[in-house]
Amino acid sequence: MTQRSATKRPWKDTLVDMLVGVDADTIVIGAGAAGLAAARSLAGRSVRVLVLEARDRVGGRVWSRPVARNATPAELGAEFIHGRGELTVQLLREAGAAAIDTEGEGWTCSKDGELRREDWDLSSTAGIFEAAGALPDDESVDRFLRRFERDRATRETARAARAFVEGFDAADPAIASARAIASEMRSGVDFAIARPLGGYGPMFEHLRNACVAAGVRIWLSTIVRRISWRRGAVAIDMSCGGESQTVHARTAILTLPVGVLRRRGDELAVAFDPNLPDAKIKALQSIEMGHVVKVALWFRSAFWERVRDGRYRDAAFFRCERQPFVTNWTQLPVRSTLVVAWVGGPKAVALSGIAEAELIERALNGFGALLNEPELAREEFEGGLTHDWGGDPFARGAYSYVAVGGGNARAALSAPVDDTIFFAGEATSTDDQDGTVNGALETGERAAAEAATALGVEAR
């Protein structure tokens, strides 16, 4: 199988298959981290795999864009490695890349607008959520934190915890489950952060090439419309370039984001015949998609390293709740002229629908104001990129979080349906790696093992 399998009009290259009906043991829907991991794992077991991807690229919610004069690309989607990340690190090594720990100083703006040096201690944020585990009933993060915000002794810690849930989890505190956040904190997945040296691009190119070399067909720009199924048989109606086609398989692995699976009532909604079981529908209703607005800015030079007598030379993160983009970060330990502006949760929702040029302008103005160097920032500015994941029809959000009362929603979402339809993706991670690339990769391998068992294929 050649790389022509990853084309916008795939069935033109598979005429025989088109005449008899495309056949595969497993169809994987989605060519993001989970989908490619599942496809590679199955192909390694000699399973015939077809991957359907709606975008014109692989990677899903990971999107690396090259930036002039920067070794580090602009990552418009996932950028970091959270927690242990063993599978991610392994794949990076296979791709000839490496992971590096994030290093550098944190700076936070005070009430008078001045930046002060501050190392953010997540242990205090985690500590305030310990009590959530003892709640008789689950409640929203908002309700849980309000009791601490009323107490002067814990007010600042509670406010920091609220900002963390909004910014890091991209969640709405009025909806997010306090118990689920507490579990995430106990896992420590948020405490260790690294990044792929040179970005995620090489890893995804390696995964794609490994799949193709193993005989996996990857059809890009192919939109799934309907999934008809019964035990041991799946028929998928899809379209590509205005043409319609139906493909058949014995099993299917769905790696679609929750926001896409929940979509109803328009031409991009995926229909199921028969409908998914009630338990699966309930799980989908209990998992929300967080919202993020992320803008990559690049400059002629890393001018922030020079201002204020080099005060910010080793700055990795800047935080200011009064700015439209609450967090800005550099690429340290890599010296780069690239800065990322970030906001999550309700503040990100408030920016939805704003034109790309305006978002870049606001991010630039905010970073310049943060450093008290608005004119210098504009003089040094060369360009910017952003992507609206909430408005993206193939994502409908950045990454998932559990709503109040969601309890075992992730486990229910990950469960197979009739040993025929299997589910993967960060939202199905049951070990607190939701929202991470590593979590998506691991769920892809898990779903592949489940599908292989259903097919009667031995593990390798």
Dmax (CA) of the chain: 72
Token digits of residue 136:
């008789």
CA 83 to chain centre: 15
User: Where do the domains of the chain lie?
Assistant: 3-60+201-289+400-455, 121-187
Residue 130 known to bind ligand: no
Rounded CA gap, 212 and 154, in Å? Answer: 54
Q: Tell me the pTM.
A: 0.93
Confirm or deny that 49 is annotated as ligand binding.
no
DSSP structure string for 354-417? --HHHHHHHHHHHHHHHTT-HHHHHHHEEEEEEEETTT-TTTSSS-EEEBTT-TTHHHHHHS-B
Q: Is 379 annotated as a binding residue?
A: no
Per-residue pLDDT of the chain (460 residues; tens, 9 = 90+): 333 344 443 433 343 344 345 479 999 999 999 999 999 999 999 999 999 999 999 999 999 999 987 778 999 999 999 978 999 999 999 999 999 999 999 999 987 778 999 877 777 788 899 888 788 899 999 999 999 999 999 999 999 999 999 999 999 999 999 999 998 888 766 667 899 999 999 999 999 999 999 999 999 999 999 999 999 999 999 999 889 999 999 999 999 999 999 988 788 899 999 999 999 999 999 999 999 999 999 999 999 999 999 999 999 999 999 999 999 999 999 999 999 999 999 999 999 889 999 999 999 999 999 999 999 999 999 999 999 899 999 999 999 999 999 989 999 999 999 999 999 999 999 988 999 999 999 999 999 999 999 999 976 5
Separation of alpha carbons 412 and 426, rounded Å = 14
Structure tokens that stand for 263 in this block: 């979509």
**Would you tell me how many other CB atoms lie within 10 Å of the CB of residue 346?**
15
Contact yes or no for 451/422 (Cβ under 8 A): yes
Q: Which fold has domain 3-60+201-289+400-455?
A: FAD/NAD(P)-binding domain (3.50.50)
